C-alpha cells in the first residue's frame, strides 16, 4: 500500500497520474473541500465516494483560500492533506491553491464529482461555487453526485472543542445561537440591498510605506529604515461607501478632493461600481493623504499627514448644502463618517440632522484633530458609533462607566442606538428604544491590521439598524464584519457579503 507521502502529489503530478489511470480504463472520482477537522462524517463521505469508481482523488483548499473567517483553518494545509492521505479509501491527495475545484476539474476530468448532501440545494450555497463546479464537471463528461449519510459540522466541533474562541466568546455564541439562526440573519442582510444610502465624509488616501528597520543612525539618535515597497488604499468615507456597496445596490457618496493633485483617478478606480460619487474640489487643499511607515510586522513607526485642515470651502459648502437640502430626505440611511479634517461643515451637519430619515455618525479622534473634534458637533443622530477614548473625550470623563456616558450623550442628541467599540474587549450597544444594553465579546481570533475596522463596524451595524434589524443582531453583524476587517491590510479591500455570510455560518454552527 502506498505511504501517505507517496499519495500526496502536486496538482501537475496528479494530472499526469490521472491521465495514465484513465488510459487503463479506471473510473476517476474527485472530492474537494477544506477538511479542517477530519471526523466520521468526512470519512463516511469519502468511503461512499470511493464506491462510485476505481480511484478516489481528494483535493484540499490551501490555507490562504479557506474562507471561514478568523482563526480558520485551525490545521494547516500540509496536516489536512496528510490526514486524508492516511485513509485507505483515498488514493491520491493534492493541495489546491484556489477557493474552489473549478481550476482542478479540467486537469482531472473526473467521471464523478462528489459533494455532501448539505450542498444539494444550490440556493443554499452562499458562494455559487457548486453551480460553477457542476458546470465544469459536466463540460468534461462527468456527473455530480451528492452523498447522503451522517453529517457533522467541522466548524461546530472546532468552535466547541479546540479553543478557537475564548470561553467568554463561546458562551456568547451559545446564547446567540438559541435566539438566531444563520439563515435568518443572512436573509435579512440580503434584504438590505433595497436601501438607498448616502455617505457624506472625508475622502482619504491611506499610504503604507513598507520598510525594514536598520536601527539607530550612526550620526544621531534617530532610527534608520530601508525602503521596501509602498501601497495606496481608498480610506475614510471612500472605505465606508465601499463596505456599504457590498450590501446596498444604491450608494451615493459626497466628498471633497484636491483639484489638481492626481488623486481623483486613483480614487475612482478603487470605488465600487455601485457607488455614485459626487466630488467637490478644494481650491487650496490636496486630497487628504495619511502616509504611514510600516515595518515587516505591520507595526506603524511614523505617520505623515498631507492635508490642509482649514481649506477655504465657502463656495463648495454652499453647493453641498444646497444639494443636501434638496436630496437628503430621499435616502433611507445617511452616514456621516466624520474624520474631522475640515470637509464636513456646521451647515452640512445641521441639514443632515434635520433631513435624514436615519442618520449614522462617527466622529473619529485622530492626531490631526485631538481635543477639537467631538460627537457633540451634531445636534441629533439615530446611531452613533465611537470607541472608548472618543466617548470619554466627548464627555470629559476619565473613569465613569461607558454605558452611563453613552446614555448621557444619547439623551442629549435624541439617539436611539449608541455603540461603543472596545477593541480586544468587544463592543456594547445601548438601545434606548427598549432601555437595554447589549454586549458582545470580540469575534476575531487574530489581528493583522486594525486600521479601518471601526469604519466597517459603523457601515454594517448602521446599515442593519437603518434597515430595521434588531439591535442585538446589528451589533453581532457589525462585530463579525470588524473581525473580518482586522484580517485585511488597511483598506485594501472591503469585506464582501460572501465572506460575511460564511463567517456568520461558521460562528453559528
> Any residues with CB less than 8 A from the CB of 157 and at least 6 apart, and which?
37, 39
3-state DSSP helix/strand/coil % of the chain, to nearest 5: 40, 25, 35
Three-class DSSP category at 462? helix
Q: pLDDT tens-digit profile of 445-500?
A: 778 899 999 999 999 999 999 999 999 999 999 999 999 999 899 999 999 998 89
Whole-angstrom CA distances from 123 to 126, 181, 247, 252 are: 8, 17, 18, 30
b/e map of 259-290 (b: 16 or more CB within 10 Å)? Answer: beeebbeebeebbbebbebebbebeebbbbbb
Cβ–Cβ under 8 Å, residues 92 and 14? yes
Cβ–Cβ under 8 Å, residues 417 and 382? yes
Enter the pTM of the model. Answer: 0.77
Q: How much is the pLDDT for 162?
A: 44
Phi-psi region of 103 (alpha: psi -120 to 50; beta: other; left: phi over 0): alpha
Q: Please name which of 274, 267, 273 lies closest in space to residue 288, comparing C-alpha atoms.
A: 267
Phi-psi region of 257 (alpha: psi -120 to 50; beta: other; left: phi over 0): beta
Cell triple for 79: 496536516
Q: How much is the pLDDT for 221?
A: 85
Alpha helices by DSSP H, listed for 198-313, are 237-245, 263-270
Task: Please name every residue paired with 229 in a beta bridge, in sequence order, or none if there are none.
Answer: 210
User: pLDDT tier at 79 (50, 70, 90 boundaries)?
Assistant: confident
Q: Which H or E run includes 420?
A: strand 417-421
Q: pLDDT tens-digit profile of 87-96?
A: 888 899 999 8
For residues 204-219, average pLDDT: 90
Q: How much is the pLDDT for 78?
A: 87
Three-class DSSP category at 204? strand
User: pLDDT tier at 421 (50, 70, 90 boundaries)?
Assistant: very high
User: pLDDT tier at 37 (50, 70, 90 boundaries)?
Assistant: confident
Amino acid at each position: 500500500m502506498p505511504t501517505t507521502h507517496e499519495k500526496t502529489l502536486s496538482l501537475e503530478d496528479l494530472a499526469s497520474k490521472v491521465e495514465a489511470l484513465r488510459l487503463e480504463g479506471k473510473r476517476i472520482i474527485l472530492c474537494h473541500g477544506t477538511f479542517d477537522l477530519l471526523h466520521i462524517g468526512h470519512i463516511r463521505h469519502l468511503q461512499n465516494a470511493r464506491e462510485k469508481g476505481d480511484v478516489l482523488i481528494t483535493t484540499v483548499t490551501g490555507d490562504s483560500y479557506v474562507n471561514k473567517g478568523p482563526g480558520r483553518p485551525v490545521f494547516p494545509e500540509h496536516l489536512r492533506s496528510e490526514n486524508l492521505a492516511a485513509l485507505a479509501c483515498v488514493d491520491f491527495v493534492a493541495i489546491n491553491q484556489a477557493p474552489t475545484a473549478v481550476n482542478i476539474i479540467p486537469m482531472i476530468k473526473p467521471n464523478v464529482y462528489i459533494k455532501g448532501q448539505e450542498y444539494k440545494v444550490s440556493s443554499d450555497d452562499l458562494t455559487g461555487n457548486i453551480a460553477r463546479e457542476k458546470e465544469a464537471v459536466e463540460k468534461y463528461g462527468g456527473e455530480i453526485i451528492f452523498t447522503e449519510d451522517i453529517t457533522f459540522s467541522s466548524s461546530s466541533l472546532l468552535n466547541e472543542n479546540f479553543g478557537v474562541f475564548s470561553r467568554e466568546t463561546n458562551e456568547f455564541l451559545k446564547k446567540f445561537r438559541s435566539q438566531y439562526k444563520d439563515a435568518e440573519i443572512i436573509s435579512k442582510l440580503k434584504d438590505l440591498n433595497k436601501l438607498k444610502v448616502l455617505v457624506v465624509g472625508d475622502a482619504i488616501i491611506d499610504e503604507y510605506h513598507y520598510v525594514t528597520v536598520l536601527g539607530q543612525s550612526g550620526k544621531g539618535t534617530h532610527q534608520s529604515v530601508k525602503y521596501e515597497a509602498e501601497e495606496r488604499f481608498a480610506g475614510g468615507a471612500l472605505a465606508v461607501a465601499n463596505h456599504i456597496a457590498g450590501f446596498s445596490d444604491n450608494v451615493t457618496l459626497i466628498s471633497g478632493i484636491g483639484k489638481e493633485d492626481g488623486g481623483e483617478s486613483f480614487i475612482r478606480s478603487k470605488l465600487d461600481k455601485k457607488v455614485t460619487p459626487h466630488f467637490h474640489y478644494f481650491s487650496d487643499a490636496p486630497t487628504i493623504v495619511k502616509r504611514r511607515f510600516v515595518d515587516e510586522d505591520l507595526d506603524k513607526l511614523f505617520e505623515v499627514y498631507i492635508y490642509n485642515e482649514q481649506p477655504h470651502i465657502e463656495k463648495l459648502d454652499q453647493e453641498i448644502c444646497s444639494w443636501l437640502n434638496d436630496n437628503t430626505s430621499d435616502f433611507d440611511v445617511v452616514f456621516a463618517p466624520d474624520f474631522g479634517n475640515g470637509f464636513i461643515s456646521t451647515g452640512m451637519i445641521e441639514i443632515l440632522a434635520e433631513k435624514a430619515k436615519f442618520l449614522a455618525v462617527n466622529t473619529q479622534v485622530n492626531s490631526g484633530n485631538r481635543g477639537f473634534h467631538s460627537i457633540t458637533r451634531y445636534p441629533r443622530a439615530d446611531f452613533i458609533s465611537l470607541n472608548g477614548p472618543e466617548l470619554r473625550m466627548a464627555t470629559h470623563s476619565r473613569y465613569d462607566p461607558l454605558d452611563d456616558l453613552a446614555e448621557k450623550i444619547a439623551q442629549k442628541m435624541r439617539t436611539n442606538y449608541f455603540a461603543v467599540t472596545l477593541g480586544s474587549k468587544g463592543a456594547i450597544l445601548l438601545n434606548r428604544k427598549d432601555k437595554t444594553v447589549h454586549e458582545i465579546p470580540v469575534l476575531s481570533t487574530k489581528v493583522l491590521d486594525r486600521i479601518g475596522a471601526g469604519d466597517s463596524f459603523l457601515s454594517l451595524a448602521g446599515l442593519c439598524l437603518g434597515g430595521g434589524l434588531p439591535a442585538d443582531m446589528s451589533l453581532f453583524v457589525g462585530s463579525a464584519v470588524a473581525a473580518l476587517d482586522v484580517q485585511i491590510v488597511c483598506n485594501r479591500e472591503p469585506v464582501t457579503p460572501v465572506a460575511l455570510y460564511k463567517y456568520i455560518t461558521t460562528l453559528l454552527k
